């Protein structure tokens, strides 16, 4: 069976905060994705996952607690845990710019990998503590905001007892992600003592990589990637989305094209033999210690890629430029 991990980076918007948005409005817009047409954030995502018998992993960023206090985390964590999905750790260190009492003094960085090992241990330890105090079960997995981790991040996680990392996205290696990883390696590996599960994807052109992110891949591409993973015997297929990803970029209204992709993925996963919905707590870290197998991503298809480019252009016109009424 191939474990399907549908992972949701769940975070407030630092840019909306910088523009003066209140905490309550930021939570509504970024976590619950509320719009006049309805809510399409983590509640809607969990409804869809539950309907199809799937599991979500919600990588929740607690760093805004340094600015707003930690109370806002409790209802978010509670909603996820109550429905049997996973809360895991995410971190956007941009919030240190507004922290009232930073655990690392005046030191700042855009990404967690910008900090020393000692500071990373402090920051990750603080984030872990915030999530667990808000009601999350023991944190066992991590993904860096902007995929901006490095090898010291993995060492820091290991020192804190966090056994999984999912910060490797081959599209970001050398472009923000400083982890020493082979971009061609798509299975679970052991890195700095931590089990590393990279973001999955397909080849969208010879030698190219398209990450399995809901807003980046067409439904046909996602279906091809998942089916290939099952046929090729991959241990896991790791999909990325965000709590606000079902909305237009200005977070004012739903993006029907992205919503349709998420729905299509859930339908496909529910009916495809050989797929099981899973979280990190359902996986064994022993997968990282298996002999390395040669695995390949789904091969490129000019037709699939061309259709996605056309769909993306239409969706941008329809949902971003607002040339057609919603």
Model pLDDT for residues 49-61, shown as the tens digit of each residue: 999 999 999 999 9
Q: Stretch 242-246: mean pLDDT, rounded?
A: 97
| Residue tagged 């990190």 (tokens) | 280
Report the 10 Å Cβ neighbour count for 82.
10
Of residues 209 and 123, the one with the higher pLDDT is 123
Per-residue burial over 106-136, b if 16 or more Cβ lie within 10 Å, else e, is eeebebbbebeeebbbbbbbbbbebbbebbb
User: How many whole angstroms separate alpha carbon 205 and alpha carbon 299?
Assistant: 8
Return the closest-CA partner of residue 58 out of 29, 89, 91, 87. Answer: 87
Confidence of residue 214 (pLDDT cuts 50, 70, 90): very high
What pLDDT, on a 0 to 100 scale, did the predictor assign at position 244? 97
Helical pair 219-231 and 256-271, crossing angle rounded to 10 deg: 20
User: How many whole angstroms separate alpha carbon 218 and alpha carbon 239?
Assistant: 13
pLDDT at 203 over 90: no
Handedness of CA 198, 204, 205, 210 (dihedral sign): negative
DSSP code at position 193: T
pLDDT at 296 over 90: no
Helical pair 151-159 and 117-133, crossing angle rounded to 10 deg: 50
Reported as type and span, the H/E element at residue 29 is: helix 23-30
DSSP code at position 290: S
Q: Stretch 244-262: mean pLDDT, rounded?
A: 92
Confidence of residue 24 (pLDDT cuts 50, 70, 90): very high
Of residues 47 and 175, the one with the higher pLDDT is 47
Cβ atoms of 253 and 36 closer than 8 Å: yes
Specify burial of residue 260 (Cβ count, 10 A radius: 0-12, 13-18, 19+).
middle
Confidence of residue 325 (pLDDT cuts 50, 70, 90): very low
pLDDT at 273 over 50: yes
Q: Which tokens belong to 147?
A: 């995929």
Cβ atoms of 113 and 149 closer than 8 Å: yes
Residues 69-98: tens digit of each pLDDT? 999 999 999 999 999 999 999 999 999 999
pLDDT at 285 over 50: yes
Per the prediction, the chain carries an average pLDDT of: 93
Confidence of residue 199 (pLDDT cuts 50, 70, 90): very high
Share above pLDDT 90 across residues of the chain, in percent, rounded to a whole number: 81
Residues 154-194: tens digit of each pLDDT? 999 999 999 999 999 999 998 999 999 998 888 999 999 99
pLDDT at 323 over 70: no
Cα 250 to chain centroid, rounded: 20
What pLDDT, on a 0 to 100 scale, did the predictor assign at position 294? 63
Handedness of CA 93, 97, 102, 106 (dihedral sign): positive
User: How many whole angstroms separate alpha carbon 223 and alpha carbon 201?
Assistant: 11
What pLDDT, on a 0 to 100 scale, did the predictor assign at position 148? 97
Confidence of residue 206 (pLDDT cuts 50, 70, 90): confident
Question: What one-character-per-residue DSSP string does 128-168 give?
Answer: HHHHHHTTPPPP-EEEEGGG--BHHHHHHHHHTT--EE---
What pLDDT, on a 0 to 100 scale, did the predictor assign at position 221? 92
User: How many whole angstroms separate alpha carbon 135 and alpha carbon 147?
Assistant: 25
Q: What are the φ and ψ backbone dihedral angles of 243, each rounded to 5 degrees?
A: -65, -25
What pLDDT, on a 0 to 100 scale, did the predictor assign at position 314? 66
């Amino acid at each position: 069976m191939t474990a399907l991990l549908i992972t949701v980076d769940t975070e407030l918007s630092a840019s909306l905060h910088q523009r003066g948005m209140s905490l309550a409005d930021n939570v509504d817009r970024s976590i619950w994705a509320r719009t006049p047409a309805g809510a399409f954030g983590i509640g809607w995502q969990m409804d869809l996952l539950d309907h199809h018998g799937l599991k979500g992993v919600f990588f929740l960023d607690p760093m805004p607690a340094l600015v707003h206090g930690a109370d806002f985390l409790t209802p978010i964590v509670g909603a996820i845990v109550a429905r049997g999905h996973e809360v895991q750790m995410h971190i956007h260190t941009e919030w240190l710019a507004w922290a009232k009492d930073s655990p690392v003094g005046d030191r700042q960085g855009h990404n967690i990998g910008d900090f020393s090992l000692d500071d990373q241990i402090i920051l990750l330890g603080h984030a872990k503590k915030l999530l667990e105090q808000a009601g999350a079960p023991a944190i066992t997995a991590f993904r860096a905001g902007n995929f901006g981790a490095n090898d010291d991040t993995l060492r820091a996680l290991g020192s804190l007892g966090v056994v999984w990392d999912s910060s490797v996205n081959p599209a970001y290696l050398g472009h923000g992600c400083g982890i020493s990883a082979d971009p061609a390696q798509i299975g679970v590996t052991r890195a700095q003592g931590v089990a590393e599960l990279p973001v999955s994807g397909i080849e969208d052109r010879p030698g190219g990589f398209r990450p399995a992110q809901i807003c980046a891949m067409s439904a046909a591409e996602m279906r091809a990637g998942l089916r290939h993973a099952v046929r090729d015997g991959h241990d896991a297929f790791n999909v990325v989305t965000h709590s606000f990803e079902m909305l237009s970029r200005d977070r004012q209204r739903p993006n029907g094209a992205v919503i349709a992709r998420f729905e299509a993925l859930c339908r496909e996963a529910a009916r495809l033999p050989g797929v099981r919905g899973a979280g990190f707590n359902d996986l064994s870290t022993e997968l990282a210690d298996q002999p390395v197998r040669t695995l390949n991503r789904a091969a490129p298809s000019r037709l699939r890629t061309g259709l996605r480019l056309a769909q993306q252009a239409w969706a941008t016109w329809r949902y971003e430029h607002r040339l057609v009424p919603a």
